[in-house]
Chains A and B, each alone.
Chain A
Amino acid sequence: MTTLDRIAPARPNRLSGFAARALKRPAFLAGFAILGASLLLALFPAAIAPYDPLAFDMTAIQQGPSLAHPFGTDGFGRDVLSRVIWAYRVDMQMAFFATVFAMLIGLTTGALVGFYGGIADAIFGRVVDAVITFPFLVLVIAIVAVLGPGLVNMYVAITAVNWVYYARLTRAEIMAQKAQDYAAAARVLGYSDARIIFRHLLPNAISPVIVYWMTDMALAILLGSSLGYLGLGAQPPAAEWGVLIAEGRNFIMTAWWISLMPGIAIVVTGLGFSLLGDSLADLLRPKGR
């Protein structure tokens, strides 16, 4: 037998293939641009913001949008644009820290429970039931109320509830992957459980989790702002979108820009995460089978 089958033409480089496909998607580009800009604002607010976000200016109180103050000023004459920009730092941190530990804990727990099943899985199922019985926000508020307000406590509270959702998602994916022949092949090759779970199953199960994480970061900003608005998250005078909205609450009829501008920032950033998450979902789907 001298058959040498024709092999599919070599692709120059895997990463460039991914980038090429990504760049063809307007949704990906838009999401990427929004989050890139957000990240810049979060990293270098001092260089970008025109004013000190905490500096009072009693000569310019509650002024509407103008050239000097594009987003107007608040009740203490602070520049709203600068405060919204400085808030990127807090809110982007919130998006990341409120979700990343939940994702890591959920990923590990879900992978182990999904792989081993049995009693651990049964107990996990009851924990999930117990957690999702409560409305998310109510449970988080209850935990923050016990721990006391503040950013770190808010992260702890959100993580304590949120990991369950990641674990549930990962468990289902791992169970589906475990049923595939390549998982059985790994066992026949005598690989350890840890190698099978983390090197074989997880890379195939992780895409939906990454996508969910993106969307969840948008939700974390909303949740963090809500808690900030309620006085349970970031504390004034720190600039945080929810706190800013709460500050403008009393002047919404006369000085609408104080609440509206941070609101728009929330919407745009949330949109950025969602766009990126959705297009990643398509891009990460394995080709062929």
Chain B
Amino acid sequence: MSAEPILSVSGLSVRFSKPRPLAHQLLGHPRQEVRALNGIDLAVARGETLGIVGESGCGKSTLARCLAGLVTPTEGEIRFRGERLADLRGKDRRAYNRRVQLIFQDPYSSLNPRMTVGDMLSEALTVHRMRSGSGVDERIGELFELVRLPQDARDKYPHEFSGGQRQRIAIARALAVEPECLIADELVSALDVSVQAQVVNLMLDLQDRLGLTVLFVAHDLRLVRHVSHRVAVIYLGSVVEIGPSETVFSAPRHPYSQALLAAAPTLEVKEGRKTPALSGELPSPLAIPPGCPFHIRCPYAAERCRREKPALLPHGGGLAACHFAEEIAAGTQPVRKAEPQPA
């Protein structure tokens, strides 16, 4: 992307240390750490939608929460318009929170059950002094129109709404503070399929009208393909491939992206698989394998993958972190024999 990034992340790592019982501390067992994110580098341009995909437990939500300032990174930095998030204090920090909003996955727990929708919105508007006096009421009306909620929603409580409506209330609340960047963490995965499209299209529409930058975190590949300009594939807390949406989806370079796409259900009848399916489970983030984190499950893994962690390098139209990206694309990398699964 040629434009100056609005939000950028470099070397972002998050580790949660697991509490140890006293006995283990006395016996000198090492502290166990969950390595949720391992050196993420990303940059998002203004007005762009960056899709972030990966399996459950790969660190997508942690990344979203880091960007929203809910989780403090262990290493690395987040910059918004060139300013380091970690340096912001007090008023500036609140201003960051106003400009970068997070929409949560579960609209059933992200709305305060004891506040009316009108109270929620007017609180957001008044705390940040977005409007005052009668402007608040006017603006609430506009927000309802924006997210297509009826005006009488104002005096109702969240439990009186359906899941899709609740998610639109959450969007209205985020938009109330006029953010520049929206992070949507599994925006629609808690919703019925029939409502998903509605909410996603609303989001895209709003993005166009308001010029929002969107980070779309999801596990639904079709959805991400539909909404994103660029896509980042995350595996065990690292970006394994990033590139323009069409490139990543039509010609994935990293074997993990290929497997992920091959595993996605489609309506088309296929003549057998071209890519070998993934074997094994996602390794525990407590013990991330050395070398390429994917080598245990990778059908193309070679000796080098066990020793050396591949860097994110340009391949095709985007970047991929694989030693054999070119060979795999050319079809010259030998497929390893499936190891017998231990019973």
Interface of A with B (CB < 8 Å)?
A: 1, 3-5, 7-8, 10-11, 180-182, 184-191, 195, 199-200, 203-204, 286-289
Contact = CB atoms under 8 A, between A and B. Distances in A.
Given A1-B198, A195-B127, A286-B114, A188 B109 contact: no
Nearest to A177: B112
Contacts of A199: 123
Contact of B102 (A5, A185, A287): A185
A17 to B, nearest CB: 11
25 contacts: A1-B202, A1-B205, A5-B162, A8-B156, A8-B160, A8-B161, A10-B152, A182-B109, A182-B110, A185-B102, A185-B110, A187-B70, A187-B97, A188-B97, A189-B124, A190-B93, A190-B95, A190-B96, A190-B98, A195-B127, A199-B123, A203-B112, A204-B114, A289-B109, A289-B113
B153 A188 contact: no
A5 B159 contact: no
B126 to A, nearest CB: 11
Interface string B102-113: 101110111111
A182 B148 contact: no
User: Which 3 pairs show the lowest CB-CB distances between chains A and B?
Assistant: A288-B159, A190-B97, A190-B94
Contacts of B162: 5
Is chain A's binding surface mostly helix, strand, loop or mixed? loop
Interface string B155-193: 010111110110000100100010000000000000000
Contacts, number: 97
A5 B112 CA distance: 21
Nearest to A183: B112
Listed residue (B98, B101, B160) with the most chain A CB atoms within 10 angstroms of its CB: B160
A286 B68 contact: no
Interface in B94-143: 94-98, 101-102, 104-106, 108-115, 123-124, 127-128
A190 B85 CA distance: 14
B201 interface: yes
Contact of B173 (A3, A4, A184, A185): A185
A211 B68 CA distance: 37
A183 to B, nearest CB: 9
Interface in B183-236: 198, 201-202, 205
Contacts of A190: 93-98, 127-128, 177
Contacts of B39: none
A188 B69 contact: yes
B150 interface: yes
B230 to A, nearest CB: 24
Contacts of B65: 184
A278 B112 CA distance: 25
Contact of B106 (A7, A8, A181): A181
Contact of A7 (B96, B128, B152, B158): B152
B201 A286 contact: no
B113 A286 contact: yes
A4 B114 contact: no
Contacts of B173: 185, 189
Contacts of A4: 148, 150
A286 B158 CA distance: 11
Contacts of B114: 203-204, 286
A7 B113 contact: no
A191 B165 contact: no
Contacts of A200: 112, 115
Nearest to B95: A190
A289 B108 contact: yes
A230 B159 CA distance: 52
Contacts of B150: 4, 7
Nearest to A185: B110
A12 to B, nearest CB: 11
B198 A3 contact: yes
Contacts of A7: 150, 152-153, 156, 160-161, 165
